[in-house]
A = this chain, B = another copy of it.
């Protein structure tokens, strides 16, 4: 382990970026897995011909990303990075640029169109009861049923993410607020949207579809429900 045979010395400049990339490459090429030990700072410093300070900073980065951790008496070992935790730390809405928000909003539409099979597969009695409560509360407190209400949107759609039983999607719930706010800020007149024809698909209708429909019927209903958002994203008939 102490010769690091698959890693070659850097040319000259010892940027932490380069060393970090080398460390990641080393882990990959040596097929290191969670629990495996990582060679010591000093060995990397010698092999790469850079100072220990630089290697230490690169190690610190990998620790920050949760790729390695220090264990007593064992030095540094590889871990399974908690990608969702890291994702969360970065996702303060005030820090996200408008391009990222637009991408996330599109992702939201894609996920909600695509998650139907998982909802039908994993739905439980308890889930459906909670969804019923969310929809009933919404109806009791809404004067205008077509009106866009941020907190009610998040309650209903957030519950769907949770019902997918997929950890990545569940984390996406935390993103719902900034993503919904993006809609609100950019299109305050969403309530004036006129559907191309026929009836609006409400949260209750989506819920009933989830009770007695199929993934195919649910996708059609969801697309109808999301129509104003799709049209907005695609710049169609925005008033």
Please tell me the size bucket of the interface on A.
35 or more
Per-position 1/0 for A139-172, Cβ under 8 A of B: 0000000000000000000000000101111000
Complex Cα distance, B235 from A12, in Å, reads 54
Complex Cα distance, B93 from A31, in Å, reads 10
Q: Report which of B34, B113, B168 forms a contact with A117, defined as CB distance below 8 A.
A: B113
Residues on B with C-beta less than 8 A from A89 are 24, 65, 67
Whose C-beta in chain B lies nearest to the C-beta of A60?
Answer: B60
Complex Cα distance, B92 from A83, in Å, reads 11
Complex Cα distance, B230 from A121, in Å, reads 10
Task: Let me know if A118 and B94 touch, CB within 8 A.
Answer: no
Minimum CB–CB distance for A41 against chain B, Å: 16
* A107 close to chain B: CB less than 8 A: yes
Residues on B with C-beta less than 8 A from A49 are none
| Given A113-B116, A114-B112, A114-B114: A166 in contact with B106 (beta carbons within 8 A) | yes
Per-position 1/0 for A192-227, Cβ under 8 A of B: 000000000000000000000001100110010000
Task: Let me know if A107 and B169 touch, CB within 8 A.
Answer: yes
Task: Let me know if A168 and B31 touch, CB within 8 A.
Answer: no
Complex Cα distance, B89 from A66, in Å, reads 11
Q: Which of A2-10, A97-105, A130-138, A181-189 contacts B (4 or more CB under 8 A)?
A: A97-105
Sample of 6 more A-B contacts, CB < 8 Å, known A67-B95, A103-B168, A114-B114 = A28-B92, A33-B95, A65-B89, A78-B95, A83-B90, A106-B168
A-B contact pairs, 13 of them (CB 8 A): A24-B89, A31-B94, A33-B95, A60-B64, A64-B64, A65-B65, A80-B95, A80-B100, A107-B169, A109-B114, A110-B169, A111-B111, A112-B114
